[in-house]
Amino acid sequence: MSTDKPKTLKLVGLRHIPRIKEGSNLSLLILKSARRQLFPIKNNDIVVITQKIISKSERRLVDLRSIHPSSEAIKISQLVEKTPQLVQLILDESKEVLRVRKGVIIVKHRLGFVCANAGIDHSNTVEHDPDSNYVLLLPKDPDKSARQIQVEIEKATGKQVGVLIIDSHGRAWRNGTVGTTIGAAGLPGLVDLRGKQDLFGYTLKATQVAAADELAAAASLLMGQADEAIPCVIARGFPYPLREFHLNELIRPDEEDLFN
């Protein structure tokens, strides 16, 4: 009988984080919530955070009534049946518009990844706004946001941690959304297994694991998409060594894109 200890990955959703406002100290709130749930942060834990609370704390909430749409935005709005003000924000947040159809604009976001409507969100933004006048933009620099939180948590706890910022994205040729990495610090985005051998001695030639995205999807199961009120998940047992991260390692270069 094998005596090897089985690998485990434990995910704990933090339920005691209050409503986030502009300027909220997320690191402090996360640490307080973890202690309250008797799950204090340990060495090599990964703190997975929804982009929504990052954006709220970083003043990325926009009143659509303050936006003055261009003629291009007005033209596109008629095709997609969205307000010209929202379309203008989508254009402002994008490098390139890739596809347009009723209800959706597929863009290359200014951060480099492809997503719908530049990741701009109406849901769970502002209370008592039945007309949906407010939307939430993605953070300006999610990697920088993650690094700041990482430094603050490590300073407060004396532990080495990773921080992962995630959003819900759709995928080409697949239905439904899944948690996806948009920024991180202190953990690998890709784990390169090329050159390693499988169980039967075959040398892997192409395998690279999107470890950050796999963890993002797992944490998103706990966070949910509606009224679950779990904006942060602590992951314990991440199976790869921690290291520095940059979002570009998860984004395929244009010259390697077979569908461009």
Please report, for the chain, the start and end positions of each structural domain, with discontinuous segments joined by +.
9-58+139-251, 61-137
Residue 221: its pLDDT value, please? 93
Tell me: pLDDT of 2 over 60. no
Q: pLDDT-based confidence at 6, cuts 50/70/90?
A: confident
pLDDT tens across 209-241, in order? 999 999 999 999 999 766 668 999 999 999 999
What's the pLDDT at 225?
Answer: 66
Whole-number pLDDT of residue 194? 83
Per the CB < 8 A criterion, the answer to whether 18 and 32 are in contact is no
173 with 50: CB under 8 angstroms? no
What's the CATH superfamily of 61-137? CofE-like domain (3.90.1660.10)
pLDDT for res 256: 82
Examine domains 9-58+139-251 and 61-137 and report if their fold is the same.
no
What is the homologous superfamily of the domain 9-58+139-251 according to CATH? CofE-like (3.30.1330.100)
